């Protein structure tokens, strides 16, 4: 039986607009086991990004608990949280968020260099080769296509070998052919590296690759079903 790597209990989040309090997430309780590929589906505005932001400790919930690798993180200070986040989590974003002044290889190396990993370069080179971008290693982000940028971003998310990868609409800026290959790549890398993948997407096509689908509607989990793979 695989261990539970991530769990929430009654996760609730409000935003205040003027004197109005708006509930964005409402009592979300979920549990993810190591190695799963979970897609959080739901239309735009349903709370997917907010949920990933809270799960990764980038913002504090109004109420509820978040357990990450056995530790309750929702009340930890930023100082306590940063090393946990750096060790456990990799991120992939819709807008890629590559550093424009660094080339493909340097972008991938960056998180490993922050940790003073002496193997940053060979690890980055191996990942680049794995995703078929060896020839593009010296290219700057603006010289890369959307699909290539996202492959670089995926390598960067994986270089510190995180146990969890959060991906927020990673194919949102890509055409359908590139989307398909990015999802296949993430799915394959997840198996190779035995990582857990939590992906927000409003595309039902993307959800078909998941091992499990969680449905968000107006900030509530409304359903769950097992994916096809
Ligand atoms: N900083 C914020 N302040 C106020 N409302 C916000 C903020 N961020 C998101 N929201 C609102 O929260 C709801 C959910 O947003 P979001 O989590 O981005 O959903 P999704 O990623 O599913 O599109 C939306 O109605 C959005 O307008
Ligand atoms: Mg979003």
Q: What is the mean pLDDT of residues 31-53?
A: 95
Residues in the ligand 1 pocket, defined by CB under 6 Å: 15, 24, 42, 44-50
| DSSP run (H or E) holding 188 | helix 176-193
Domains within the chain, CATH numbers bracketed: 34-59+78-226 (3.40.50.300)
Return the ligand 1 atom nearest residue 17 CA.
4
Instruction: Report CA(39)–ligand 2 centroid distance (Å).
Output: 13
Instruction: Report CA(114)–ligand 1 centroid distance (Å).
Output: 31
24-39 pLDDT tens trace: 999 999 999 999 999 9
β 4-17/20-33 pair status? antiparallel
Percent of the chain exceeding pLDDT 70 equals 98
115-134 pLDDT tens trace: 999 999 999 999 999 999 99
What ligand has the least distance to the C-alpha of 202? Answer: 1
Instruction: Report CA(229)–ligand 1 centroid distance (Å).
Output: 30
Q: How far from 186 is each of 158, 180, 183, 215, CA to CA, in Å?
A: 10, 10, 5, 20
Instruction: Report CA(118)–ligand 2 centroid distance (Å).
Output: 35
Please determine, for residue 199, whether its predicted confidence score (pLDDT) is greater than 90.
yes
Please determine, for residue 227, whether its predicted confidence score (pLDDT) is greater than 70.
no
Mean pLDDT (the chain) is 93
pTM: 0.93
pLDDT band at 202 (very low <50, low <70, confident <90, very high): confident
**Atom 4, ligand 1: which residue's CA is nearest?**
15
């Amino acid at each position: 039986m695989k261990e539970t790597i991530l769990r929430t209990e009654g996760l609730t989040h409000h935003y205040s607009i003027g004197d109005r309090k708006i509930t964005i997430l409402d009592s979300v309780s979920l549990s993810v086991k190591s190695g799963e590929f979970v897609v959080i589906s739901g239309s735009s505005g349903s709370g997917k990004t907010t949920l990933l932001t809270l799960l990764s400790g980038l913002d504090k919930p109004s109420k509820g608990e978040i357990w990450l690798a056995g530790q309750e993180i929702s009340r930890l200070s930023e100082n306590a949280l940063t090393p946990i986040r750096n060790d456990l989590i990799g991120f992939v974003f819709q807008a890629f968020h590559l550093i424009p002044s660094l080339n493909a290889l340097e972008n991938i190396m960056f998180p490993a260099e922050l940790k003073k990993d002496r193997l940053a370069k060979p690890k980055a080179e191996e990942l680049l080769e794995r995703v078929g971008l060896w020839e593009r290693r010296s290219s700057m982000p603006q010289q890369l296509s959307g699909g290539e940028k996202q492959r670089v971003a995926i390598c960067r998310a994986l270089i510190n070998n995180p146990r969890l990868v959060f991906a927020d609409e990673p194919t949102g800026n890509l055409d359908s052919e590139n989307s398909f290959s990015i999802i296949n790549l993430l799915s394959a890398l997840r198996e190779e590296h035995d990582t857990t993948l939590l992906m927000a997407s409003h595309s039902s096509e993307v959800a078909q690759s998941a091992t499990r689908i969680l449905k968000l509607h107006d900030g509530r989990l409304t359903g769950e079903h097992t994916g096809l793979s």
